Structure 1
């Protein structure tokens, strides 16, 4: 990797943690300079500005998060176990979030709701990808005969993603992982009602 590419990757990685903790609006070029150890010229030689950095940093954080989900699911055999393994990525959002600062999808979605449109579009695409991933697992569970054919996989996938993200917000807001625990338990209970015994 060339020096310029290394610098670019360094900025992306450091900015991803910064934006995930302080938010896009709450982070300045000065903050990016501080976390990267670069001068303003060093940052601007690599990126046109904070907007460009934010988009690439979100992509980077999203890839890491999706990697956690994929790795968790690959270690499980059944569809239900795969979903529960994905849920376990969020079992301790207070002390051990999957990425420094919490969930980049949740943090960005909340902040970018009325702000920077391109970042909002990135968050929406990541949400769709996560939901489709969960739905794909459920679809395989139905086709393999593990789950009832009456299961509305799109609806349950939306419920799982929305519930997980909400539980991360509640747990981090209150400093209590019980909210994540409650949601994970309820997801398991719901899945069990669709299992073919």
Structure 2
């Protein structure tokens, strides 16, 4: 399906604004940053977005959709439950080089929206819940297929792995090194393999 000129312009604005919002946050990013990066006028931007709040919400939607799509593509390359989980881990192997400049958009948005943006906080909570549910369902699929022992508590492992990976993204970016992430991923893979049948 071909996009109209207006739809292409709006998409361009979202793509241009995403790294700005991901790096500066919702509070720190401003309309002038987006206008300068996109080389557009205020009139053009406001022809597509009602306000900064509307732009912020749509940029968040765009970043979550983009992140979810790239993660789903990575996971889908795994042919087994273990392969899918390992693909999830490998998606995060270099926290200094993220697909949207500035780190993991899910964590960045989650931290900022916690107390300040209730509508965005709800979107992030839904994204985190669905991510956890997917992770658990992959592990349960592995148990049902006889790939993993039923000693594996899929909910606990999924939560621990997800929390560790997301926390490691923040720590690695703060310390400007991917090395701890590589060690963490290796450890998480070894733990999962200890449940292999």
Identify the match of residue 53 of structure 2 among 51, 54, 74.
Answer: 51
Identify the match of residue 63 of structure 2 among 57, 61, 64.
Answer: 61
**Per-residue Cα deviation, 1:159-186 (whole angstroms, up to 9, x for no partner):** 1111110110011000011221122112
| Separation (CA, whole Å) in 2 of partners of 1:179 and 1:112 | 27
8 Å CA contact 1:168, 1:179 repeated in 2 = no
Deviation at 1:137, TM superposition (A): 1.0
2:166 aligns to what? 165
| Separation (CA, whole Å) in 1 of partners of 2:134 and 2:70 | 12
In the alignment of these two chains, the number of paired residues is 195
| Separation (CA, whole Å) in 1 of partners of 2:122 and 2:106 | 11
Runs of 4+ in 1 over 3 A off after TM superposition: none
| 1:104 paired to 2:102 | no
**How does 1:24-173 map onto structure 2 within 5 Å?**
24-94=26-96, 96-173=97-174
| Separation (CA, whole Å) in 1 of partners of 2:40 and 2:99 | 27
2:193 aligns to what? 192
Deviation at 1:50, TM superposition (A): 1.5
| Separation (CA, whole Å) in 1 of partners of 2:105 and 2:37 | 18
- Alignment TM-score, normalising by the size of structure 2: 0.93
Deviation at 1:107, TM superposition (A): 0.6
Identify the match of residue 16 of structure 1 among 10, 15, 18.
Answer: 18
Stretches of structure 1 lacking an aligned partner (at least 5 in a row): none
**Per-residue Cα deviation, 1:83-127 (whole angstroms, up to 9, x for no partner):** 111111111111x21322111001101111111111111111111
Stretches of structure 2 lacking an aligned partner (at least 5 in a row): none
| Separation (CA, whole Å) in 2 of partners of 1:37 and 1:123 | 30
| Separation (CA, whole Å) in 2 of partners of 1:25 and 1:115 | 9
| Separation (CA, whole Å) in 2 of partners of 1:109 and 1:116 | 10
| Separation (CA, whole Å) in 1 of partners of 2:51 and 2:89 | 36
